[in-house]
Amino acid sequence: MRLALDEARLAARGGDVPVGAVVLAPDGTTVLAAGHNEREATGDPTAHAEVLAIRRAAAALGEWRLSDCTLVVTLEPCTMCAGALVQSRVDRVVYGARDDKAGAAGSLWDVVRDRRLNHRPEVIEGVLAEDCARLLTDFFRAR
């Protein structure tokens, strides 16, 4: 999560909402890819930290299936990112701060564990939650 927090700080420096993500290889320690929000930087509405990290991890592996991989992200994924996690077959999602306004991994919605879908990653929430939430709070207070 600390690597994801470092990525989130990069997003804030670029004027983006400070969310960072990393994808870990099946061994659970090797970082395949990282990303941070780049919507403002690129003008791309899909440039969320999770989507960018997933794309980069798939490129690193040479395939779209991220079986046995873990995505670690500072903020609970939104519906778009939750859908990308399901579609990429990530096995585990670890997130820091809950997102009661747009979260789709247990708070507002639970897309990633919807029984109607063919893949349901494990969800671990609340890792360094206070640090992750503080980064977001500080960013929005400064605006």
* pLDDT tens digits, 29-68: 999 999 999 999 999 999 999 999 999 999 999 999 999 9
Q: Would you state the pLDDT for residue 39?
A: 97
CA trace torsion 70, 71, 75, 79 (10° rounding): -110
Question: In terms of residue numbers, what domain contains 88?
Answer: 1-142
Can you tell me the distance from the alpha carbon of 28 to that of 10, in angstroms, rounded to the nearest whole number? 23
User: H helices within the chain, ranges in order?
Assistant: 2-13, 39-42, 49-61, 79-88, 129-141
Helix (H, G, I), strand (E, B) or coil at 78: coil
Place of tokens 């997003």: 11
| Order of all β-strands in the sheet with 70-75 | 31-36, 20-24, 70-75, 92-97, 122-125
Q: Which string of DSSP letters, residue by residue, matches 94-119?
A: EEEE--TTT-TBTTS-BGGG-TTSS-
How far is it, in rounded angstroms, from Cα 84 to Cα 121?
Answer: 11
Choose the catalytic residue: 7, 38, 40, 50: 50
What is the pLDDT at residue 12?
A: 97
pLDDT at 96: 98
Q: Is 7 annotated in the active site?
A: no
Q: What is the pLDDT of residue 143?
A: 83
- The answer to the question of whether 78 is labelled as a binding residue is yes
Could you give the number of structural domains in the chain?
A: 1
Point out the residues of the chain with pLDDT beneath 50. none
The CATH number assigned to the domain holding 77 equals 3.40.140.10
Residue 81 among known ligand-binding residues? yes
Q: Is 69 marked within a binding site?
A: no
